[in-house]
């Protein structure tokens, strides 16, 4: 199960919007890792 993020770019998407989406994806990956580690213990 490999996390994938699809990003659609257009002329209206700003730098802040892209950064927010990337930060949310990184948070999701972090939460997944914590959940899997807690499940093992």
The 3-class SS string of the chain reads CCCCCCCCCCCCCCHHHHHHHHHHHHHHHHHHHHHHHHHHC
Indicate if the pLDDT at residue 40 is higher than 90: no
Structure confidence at residue 5 as a pLDDT band (50, 70, 90): very high
Q: What is the pLDDT of residues 14-26, one digit of tens each?
A: 999 999 999 999 9
Check pLDDT > 90 for residue 11: no
> Does the CA dihedral 36-7-24-15 come out positive or negative?
positive
Round the average pLDDT of the chain to a whole number and report it.
92
Q: Identify the pLDDT of residue 25.
A: 97
Q: What is the mean pLDDT of residues 18-41?
A: 94
């Amino acid at each position: 199960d490999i996390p994938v993020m699809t990003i659609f770019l257009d002329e209206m998407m700003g730098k802040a919007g892209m950064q927010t989406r990337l930060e949310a994806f990184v948070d999701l990956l972090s939460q997944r890792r914590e959940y899997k580690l807690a499940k093992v213990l």
